[in-house]
Amino acid sequence: NAGVTQTPKFRVLKTGQSMTLLCAQDMNHEYMYWYRQDPGMGLRLIHYSVGEGTTAKGEVPDGYNVSRLKKQNFLLGLESAAPSQTSVYFCASGRNFNQPQHFGDGTRLSIL
Amino acid sequence: RKEVEQDPGPFNVPEGATVAFNCTYSNSASQSFFWYRQDCRKEPKLLMSVYSSGNEDGRFTAQLNRASQYISLLIRDSKLSDSATYLCVVNPVSSGSARQLTFGSGTQLTVLP
């Protein structure tokens, strides 16, 4: 049972490049989330989804887009990467908003 | 006021000590409470849920105080492997509109040999 899988694990981009981070979960969870975590700071919610075909903005959505075309996948896109988006990105999933979230092991993204 | 506040620490304690962390939350309607642990450069992992009656899991005890709006985590007989950052997590439900948990910034614990 893989749980929550994130790809890639590491990536270095140049300013202005675009990329997509993939999150896949095999627990049949309805809710999925994308967070970023910066040194010395807590988790900040970027976007989330309450079910297939739905997305919603979190605390820091600017510069990111998401899609949930399939229940098991939640994609995070950076259209034009900026150095301020250098961070560790975590994906999580949960049965509903009251239940614990299960996290992937993160994507470390550096933008030069 | 932040929705969830934790003392960032660091807490440095000797092996075998008992240590306690508190976490305050601002929304009195919150319904779900959890403690997560996060090791350096790793993903957060669920440590335990927090129930109204309090709950215990081995050396770990979690309690909820709704009147004062805080939850606590007590670790007895600390081990070196307990060194991590402990995250307080609350679901600030208000009129059923919230759809996400709110994570505290974490309390750093270092257990010293």
Q: What is the pLDDT of residue A76?
A: 98
Instruction: Report the alpha-carbon distance of residue B5 to residue B89 in Å, rounded.
Output: 10
Q: What is the pLDDT of residue A96?
A: 84
| B96 shares contact with chain A (CB less than 8 Å) | no
Which residue of B87, B101, B102, B103 is the best one to mutate when testing the A interface, meaning the one whose CB has the most A CBs within 10 A? B101
Q: What is the pLDDT of residue A1?
A: 61
Q: Among B99, B103, B106, select the one facing A97 at the smallest CB separation.
A: B99
What do you get for the CA distance between the two ends of chain A, in Å?
36
Q: Which DSSP string do the residues of B52-113 spell out, in sequence order? A: TT-EEETTEEEEEETTTTEEEEEE-S--GGG-EEEEEEEE--STT---S-EE---EEEEEE-
- Range with lowest mean pLDDT among A108-112, B43-47, B60-64, B98-102: B98-102
Per residue of chain A (112 residues), give pLDDT as tens.
679 999 999 999 999 999 999 999 999 999 999 999 998 778 999 999 999 999 999 989 999 999 999 999 999 999 999 999 999 999 999 998 788 899 999 999 999 9
pLDDT at residue B96 greater than cutoff 50: no
| A56 shares contact with chain B (CB less than 8 Å) | yes
Place of tokens 């990536």: A11
Averaged over B98-103, what is the pLDDT?
73
Q: Which residues of A66-85 are buried (b: 16+ CB within 10 A; e: fewer)?
A: bebeebbbbbbebeebeeeb
Residues A71, A21 contacting (CB under 8 angstroms): no
pLDDT at residue B94 greater than cutoff 70: no
